[in-house]
Amino acid sequence: MPDNFFEKHDFSIGMFVVGIAVIMFIMFGGGMAPLLVVLSMQQLLGEFTSKELVSYIGILELIMNFCIVVPNIMIIRGRPRAAKVNQINIYFQFACYLLFALIFEHQYKWFCLSFVIFPLLANWLMASAKYQAFLAYYEAIRKDPAGFRRSIEKMHE
């Protein structure tokens, strides 16, 4: 597997930059999405008390946080199939932004919708070859750490 990684993928710092950028963009978009869902619910159901508002936002932010952190830890631990959870998370964020766009009426609506750029960028980067190399890198390390280390040493000779 380690030799296959170096034959199939370009080993560069760019793959790490893209992988970290995907995680950051998902987190930025995921941080705003629960807030927009709660504001949309408030528009539909009526005003929430400040205690209800904080508890709804807090619960949804915790759920979103776990849905972002756990799959990305699994990816770093060599489980590339966890990237599908990231893709589902991005689609959920798109649904949140769409719900907000259709329901919420406020003068700052378009400012809040500008945050949709983060899941769009994450989705675009996840389709790139560098992100696939990022996933394959950690998978190769997990499958054969010693062989992968030897392959890197051969590459630098």
Token pair listed for 126: 């996840």
Least trusted range by pLDDT, from 2-6, 61-65, 100-104, 125-129: 2-6
Least trusted range by pLDDT, from 40-49, 76-85, 112-121, 148-157: 148-157
Domain residue limits at 57: 2-156
Contact residues for 105 (Cβ-Cβ < 8 A; gap 6+): 43
pLDDT digits (tens, 9 = 90+) for 87-130: 999 999 999 888 888 887 777 778 878 889 999 999 999 999 99
Domain count, the chain: 1
**Amino acid making up residue 124:** W
Token pair listed for 15: 């793959």
- CA 66, chain centre distance (Å): 11
